[in-house]
Amino acid sequence: MTSIPAALVSKPTRVLPGDFAVWLFILAELSVFALLFILYAITRARFPEMFAQGQENVSINAGLGNTLALLSSSYFVVFAQQALSKGKVKKTLLGLALAIVSACVYLTIKSYEYQHIIELGFGLSSNDFYFFYFALTAFHMLHVLLGMLVLLLLGVQVARKAYHAQQMNEFESGACYWHMVDLLWLVLFPLVYVLHP
């Protein structure tokens, strides 16, 4: 039996899901957040007592709820993407709708969380901890809101049958943006809610 020369064996093609431009945007977003995360960690190391006191007023249960809601939302987006690749429009729309509902759960928890902290008398300018807490979480929440809008627009396009198994680039771009929002929260959750000085 003759063996095929290694040079002739075709390697699996490595493909980046979604648009290249979206990935540049994702990279820029990750860089900005990385800077904020590092600044938070350095400031926490400089003022451990201030951060310890501040974190006592931040509910770990709220952070946990936020994380579970965003992870679920990401799962439903994958569910929708898999359904779309099989041409199942109703199942795709169901996945997107559940992803948006999960994001709404995140927003509800976040609004209760902010209300609680504001009622305690703390705000953006109270001290360094609250500055970072509000700056990081509110900036992230803006990304969630933008992501929800993207999911909604993807839903409209799916309903119009604009996508199919060979034409999913736009859908993949939106999905990757949404997963990036989730990835950022995966870092934010331990940093702000779980790890106390």
Partner 1 sequence: MSQNLSILLLWLLLMVLTAITAVFAESYSATVGLVALVLSVTVVKAKVLVDSFMGLKNAPLMWRGLLLAYVPVIGLIVTLTYLF
Contact between 37 and partner 1 per CB under 8 A: yes
- With beta carbons less than 8 A apart as the criterion, state whether 154 and 176 touch: no
Helix count and strand count (H, E) for the chain: 6, 0
Which of 29, 30, 88, 131 forms a contact with partner 1 (CB under 8 A)? 30
Q: Running DSSP on this structure, what letter comes out for residue 88?
A: -
**Piece in contact with partner 1 (CB under 8 A), picked from 30-38, 93-101, 112-120, 152-160:** 30-38
Rounded CA-CA distance 171/85 in Å is: 10
CB of 27 to partner 1, least distance (A): 7
Taking the C-alpha atoms of residue 69 and residue 61, their distance in angstroms, rounded to an integer, is 12
Q: Are 177 and 63 in contact (CB under 8 A)?
A: no
In the window 125-184, what residues touch partner 1 (CB under 8 A)?
Answer: 172, 175-176, 179-180, 182-183
Q: Which residues bind partner 1 (CB under 8 A)?
A: 12, 14-17, 23, 27, 30, 34, 37-38, 41-42, 44-45, 60-61, 63-64, 67-68, 71-72, 74-75, 77-79, 82, 172, 175-176, 179-180, 182-183, 186-187, 189-191, 193-197
